């Protein structure tokens, strides 16, 4: 199995403060959006080369 496909889960026994959860959620959303935009850009670049 490719190492990059391995995901590690973190389990919490207590919830952190709401503010921290919101901060982490927003950071994850921004990271995902940036990755999607990067992939879309690579796809468009690939299409132009063909």
44 located within any domain: yes
Q: Which residues have CB under 8 Å from 15's CB, separation 6+?
A: 21
Number of separate domains in the chain: 1
In this structure, is residue 31 part of a structural domain?
Answer: yes
* Pair 20, 14: CB distance under 8 Å: no
Stated pTM of the model = 0.57
Confirm whether 32 is domain-assigned: yes
For 50, the domain range is 17-50
Asked whether residue 33 is domain-assigned, the answer is yes
The answer to whether position 24 is within a domain reads yes
Distance CA 45, CA 16 (A): 42
Mean pLDDT rounded to a whole number for the chain: 84
In a domain, 38, yes or no: yes
φ/ψ of residue 41, rounded to 5: -65, -40
- Tell me the mean pLDDT in the region 12-35: 94
């Amino acid at each position: 199995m490719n190492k990059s496909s391995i995901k590690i889960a973190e389990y919490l026994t207590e919830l952190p403060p709401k503010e921290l959860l919101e901060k982490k959620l927003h950071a994850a959303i921004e990271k995902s959006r940036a990755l999607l935009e990067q992939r879309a850009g690579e796809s468009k670049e690939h299409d132009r080369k063909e």
